[in-house]
Amino acid sequence: VVGLPARGKSYIVFNVGNARRVNEASHQHDQSANFFDPKNKEGAKIRDELALMVLEQLIDWLKSGGRVAIHDATNSTVQRRKLLIDRLSREPEIKVLLLESVCTDKNVLERNFRLKLSGPDYKDKDPAVALSDFRHRVANYEKAYEPVGEWEEENDIQYCKLVNVGKKVIAYNISGYLSGQCIFYLMNFNLAERQIFVTRHGESEDNLTGKIGGDAPLSAKGRKFSKALARFVKGRRIAFALDLAERKIKEEEELNDPTRSSDGEEEDKKEDKVKKVKERAESISNSQFTIWTSMLKRSMQTAEAFDPDEYDIKSREGMTYEEIKLKYPQEFQARQENKLFYRYPGMGGESYIDVIHRLQSMIIELERMSQSCLIITHRVVLRILLGYLLEWSQTQMPHMLVPIHT
C-alpha cells in the first residue's frame, strides 16, 4: 500500500505502524513529527528497517499458504518502494501490486486527521497538541512524497491508484486472477457508515426435532423471535441515526469553525442544534434499508414482521446429526476432523470452502452498498459472514458458536 498519512489506506495487513510503536516502547525513540522528517537520517533508517522486518513476516505468511497479504505503510518514496520490491524480487512466486490511496477532498482529510487523534499514537494526549503534531508529520511526509507512476511504469510494476475512496481508479499493467480480483474488490469498496445486521432464522419446527435442512415453517417460538427482531432492529436503527446525525453536524461545525466550542453556547442555539439533529436523524432512519433472506420458509417468515418493501427477495436433509452418526459413522467422523473442507457426498453436498466461494459475490455487494441491511440466513452462512466481518480465521470460523436466535 502506498500513500500519505490519513488517506484511508488502513481501511482497505502487516502493519508497519504497529511495529514502529512496539519498537518505540522498547527503545524510547522520539515518535513526534520530527521522527518522520526526511532530514532525520536515523529516523528514516529505523523506519526502513521496520518496513523490511514486517515484509519478512508477510513473506513467511504467504509461503505458509496465504494468498493475498497487504504491507500497510506509507511507502511514499521511490527509494522505499524499490527497497521492498528488490527484496520481493528474490521470491518469484510472489506477485507485487502497488495500491496508492490518494485523497484531495479537504473535508475527508480533515475528518481523517481528527480520526487519527483516537489512534494509538495520540491516545490520551491533548487534542490540540496531537492535531498540530500530526499535521506537522503529514507535512514532513509531503516533502519527500513521490506518487506511484513513472518509475513503476518504467519497470513494468503493476499498480492501482484509488482517488478519493474509489471515485477515480487508475490501473496499470494488471495481470493475473488475484490482482484482478483485488482491483474489483477495491472498486466496490466504500466508507459510508451503515449498519449490517446478521441473524439466524427463527426456530423452525425441524429445529425442535433436531433435523438438518428441510423447509419447515417457524415454530411458535420462532414467530415470537421474528417480532422481537423487528423491534430490536428498529430501535438500533433509531439510535444509530441519532448518533450519526449528531457526529455529522459536529464535524460540519468544526470544519466551518475549528476554534468553536459548545461551552457557554446560548440556550436557543442548543435548541436549534437539537432540532437539527432530530431532523437529520429522521432523514437517516428513513433512508433505504434492505433485508436479505434465503428462499426457505423459516428465513422468509422471520422477515414477515418487517415492512415487505424492505426485503429482497440435499441428500442428508431431514436427518439429525445423531442419525448421521449412526448411519454414516465414517462421514460423521470425517466432518468432525475437518469441518472446513468436508463435503457431504452426493448431489448438492457442500463444504464450508464451497460456501465461502459461493458467497464472494454477496460479500462484494455488501461492500458496495452504502445503505444499512439485515441478513436472515442459516448457521453455515452466518458463520462465514461473521468470520469475514469480525476477521476470524478460516480455522476458527467453522467452530463459531451461533445458536438459534443469534
| Residues annotated as catalytic (active site), given as ranges | 72, 103, 378
Closest CA to 52 of 93, 28, 81, 78: 81
| DSSP-based three-state secondary structure for 235 | helix
The span from the CA of 204 to the CA of 108, in Å, is 47
In the sheet with 289-293, reading across from the earlier edge strand, the strands are 196-200, 372-377, 289-293, 311-312
Provide the grid cell at 212: 438438518
Cα dist from 253 to 204, 269, 307, 384, 386, whole Å = 50, 13, 36, 41, 36
What length is written for the chain? 406
Q: How open is the CA angle 29-33-37, to the nearest 5 degrees?
A: 90
Looking at residue 114, what DSSP letter applies? H
Provide the grid cell at 345: 457426498
The span from the CA of 331 to the CA of 395, in Å, is 20
Are the CB atoms for 340 and 398 separated by under 8 Å? yes
Query: Residue written as cell 506477485?
Result: 95
| DSSP-based three-state secondary structure for 291 | strand
- Give backbone dihedrals phi and psi of 305, rounded to 5 degrees, phi first: -80, -10
Closest CA to 115 of 103, 169, 162: 103
The span from the CA of 201 to the CA of 405, in Å, is 7
Cα dist from 357 to 283, 333, 392, whole Å = 37, 24, 16
Rg (CA), the chain: 25
